[in-house]
Chain A
Amino acid sequence: MIRFENVRKRYPAGREALSGVTFRLEKGEMAFLTGPSGAGKSTLLKLVALIERPTRGTVLVSNQNTARIPRRRIPLFRRRIGIVFQDHKLLHDRTVFDNVALPLMISSLRRRELSGRVRAALDQVGLLRYENQFPLSLSSGEQQRVGIARAVASRPELVIADEPTGNLDPLLSLEIMRLFGRFNDVGATVLIATHDLELISGMSYRRLYLEAGRLASPDAGPSEEPA
């Protein structure tokens, strides 16, 4: 689903965020991307979502070389990925329902089908009763779950999350991680960046350990050569 080949990313300011990262994430797999702050976790996810482009190397997402996707095709590309952010990135002047419906409205889904999918997504995160509320009236954990519902409402094959539990207490964090696990169970490929090693210590998912822009994990992916 995701394949990085010797990927380097240097920001215009000169800082090198990733230096020579190679790994694969198979379809239907779920993995944690860990490492200290500033290790390049966010940068890696940005390369997957085409928010940034690599300086060197190749990034493939569902067998598509992202370097070959022109600017104007990026929106279509992103519609196939669900993205969850640490700061939720919800629209505060729209209801919970409208926030979750946003990606579906963008894909101009029919109204009836749209309502069904939004309610299903809200039901999965346990927030169906809040559909007419505004995000600011919800707790931080609830807002994050709205963000997750939005990410999965369009049933993407890939879900990426950048520190989704960054502001939450351990219990809520565990709940959020289990939620991702459930999406993985039904077939979504999931990649979650988190620095909270304690939180994921009890989970059996694969881990990618980033440090100073390099992958230091022994299980950095199947060692087969790229075709």
Chain B
Amino acid sequence: MNAIARYLTLHLENLTGAVARVVDRPLGSLMTVLVIAIALVVPAGLRVMVDNARALSGTWQGAADFTVYLEMAVEETAAEALARQVGQRNDVERAELLSRSDALAEFRAYSGFGEALDLLDENPLPHALIVRPAGTGADLDRLVEELDTLEETALVQLDTEWLERLRAILDLARRVVDVTTVLLGLAVIVVIGNTIRLEIGNRREEIEIIKLVGGSDGYIRRPFLYLGLCYGFGAGVLAALIVILGLGLVASPARALMELYGSDYRLAGLSLSDAAWLLGVGGFLGWAGAGIAVARHLREVEPG
């Protein structure tokens, strides 16, 4: 128990020592932390953006109605029956009939071709079913195919292709963000490794002396590892703040844009677990970068 307490005391001393060392040179430390923070902000920010876009495209899922245009010969009563029939399918949430007269009225109201329509002898529009599918993917494909083979169907017009494309683009973006994350993570390791390397150079004499009086590699390594941890963790905190601040700045114009599209979607911020991740990853990368630098350069410092 005593040994554990002493071990923990030693680590606590190392941690406070590292914090003191960071605070001791505020400007230099701030520069280092800022560079690392920016390297963390870019992937974190992109991730939040892509996640938002994916969540947003998810809310459009329900709006992925499609239209089944019926043959001109189909009577309104038959069309009504068909709408009921389609509406009862398991893979259909709702099917509404847009009768040809309603369609004409709508067209007249919105298209601005009202006067041109008056020149026509008869209504050129067919009855149509507005179908809201219950499923997605393969279910949706099968539904479309089956409705298309119905005798009464003239044309099935699927409006979801753009959504599929958007989703594919977002998947691609997500992958790009993943690659960027890995690359910038490596950059963080390099930056911290380099900082620690300089620190080892600055404290060369001290390291030599500690080696001469019998300090083990672990004893010498620990302050540097804690220093790396402090830099990484500090950068994680700063990065989280920057992302939160950035989202705060973007939130109001984003809401205005959403309102123009008739959506009440609210931008998702940095969740608590995301923030914890950012701090954890920052700290880990700091520790790892310092560990690599220490493993490489501590051996070079030998009393002679």
Q: Which residues of A contact B (CB under 8 A)?
A: 46, 49, 51-52, 72, 75-79, 83, 85, 89-91, 102-103, 106-108, 110, 150
Q: Closest residue of chain B to A72, judged by CB?
A: B217
What residues of chain B lie closer than 8 Å to A49, measured between beta carbons? 212
Give 17 A-B contacts (CB < 8 Å), ordered by A residue.
A51-B304, A72-B216, A72-B217, A75-B214, A75-B216, A75-B219, A78-B212, A85-B212, A89-B209, A91-B205, A102-B209, A103-B214, A106-B213, A106-B216, A106-B219, A108-B7, A108-B10
Known: A51-B304, A106-B219, A108-B6. A76 touches B214 (CB 8 A): yes
- CA A108 – CA B214 in complex, angstroms? 12
- CA A78 – CA B302 in complex, angstroms? 14
Q: Does B58 contact A (CB under 8 A)?
A: no
What residues of chain B lie closer than 8 Å to A110, measured between beta carbons? 6
What residues of chain A lie closer than 8 Å to B208, measured between beta carbons? 89
Q: Does B124 contact A (CB under 8 A)?
A: no
Interchain CB contact under 8 A, A150 and B303: no
- CA A150 – CA B209 in complex, angstroms? 11
- CA A108 – CA B14 in complex, angstroms? 13
Considering only CB atoms and an 8 Å cut-off, how many residues of chain B contact the other chain? 19
Q: Does B201 contact A (CB under 8 A)?
A: no
- CA A127 – CA B209 in complex, angstroms? 21
Known: A51-B303, A91-B206, A91-B209. A106 touches B214 (CB 8 A): yes
Interchain CB contact under 8 A, A75 and B217: yes
- CA A106 – CA B208 in complex, angstroms? 14
Q: Closest residue of chain A to B13, judged by CB?
A: A105
In the complex, how many angstroms separate the beta carbon of A193 from the nearest chain B beta carbon? 16
What residues of chain B lie closer than 8 Å to A72, measured between beta carbons? 216-217
| Interface bits B184-215 vs A (CB < 8 Å: 1, else 0) | 00000000000000000000011011111111
- CA A49 – CA B209 in complex, angstroms? 13
Q: Closest residue of chain B to A88, judged by CB?
A: B209
Interchain CB contact under 8 A, A78 and B214: yes
Known: A51-B304, A91-B206. A78 touches B10 (CB 8 A): no
In the complex, how many angstroms separate the beta carbon of B79 from the nearest chain A beta carbon? 87
In the complex, how many angstroms separate the beta carbon of A160 from the nearest chain B beta carbon? 11
The tally of CB-CB contacts under 8 A between chains A and B is 52
| Interface bits B206-237 vs A (CB < 8 Å: 1, else 0) | 10111111111101000000000000000000
- CA A106 – CA B210 in complex, angstroms? 8
Which of B7, B205, B213, B302 sits near A103, CB closer than 8 Å?
B213
Q: Closest residue of chain B to A151, judged by CB?
A: B213
Known: A108-B10, A110-B6. A89 touches B212 (CB 8 A): yes
- CA A76 – CA B6 in complex, angstroms? 19
Interchain CB contact under 8 A, A150 and B213: yes
- CA A75 – CA B215 in complex, angstroms? 6
- CA A106 – CA B205 in complex, angstroms? 17
- CA A106 – CA B213 in complex, angstroms? 8
- CA A106 – CA B217 in complex, angstroms? 11
- CA A74 – CA B54 in complex, angstroms? 58
Interchain CB contact under 8 A, B214 and A107: yes
Q: Closest residue of chain A to B209, judged by CB?
A: A89
- CA A75 – CA B210 in complex, angstroms? 9
- CA A46 – CA B213 in complex, angstroms? 13
- CA A89 – CA B205 in complex, angstroms? 8
Among B205, B206, B216, B304, max chain A CB count under 10 A is at: B216
Which of A46, A83, A85, A102 sits near B210, CB closer than 8 Å?
A102
What residues of chain A lie closer than 8 Å to B210, measured between beta carbons? 102, 106
Given contacts A106-B216, A108-B7, 20 further A-B contacts (CB under 8 A): A46-B304, A52-B304, A72-B216, A72-B217, A75-B216, A76-B216, A77-B214, A78-B212, A83-B212, A83-B213, A85-B212, A89-B209, A90-B209, A102-B210, A106-B213, A106-B215, A106-B219, A108-B6, A108-B10, A110-B6
In the complex, how many angstroms separate the beta carbon of B262 from the nearest chain A beta carbon? 65
In the complex, how many angstroms separate the beta carbon of A153 from the nearest chain B beta carbon? 9
**Chain B 249-304 interface residues, beta-carbon cutoff 8 Å to A:** 302-304
Known: A51-B303, A91-B206. A78 touches B213 (CB 8 A): yes
Q: Closest residue of chain B to A81, judged by CB?
A: B214
- CA A108 – CA B304 in complex, angstroms? 26
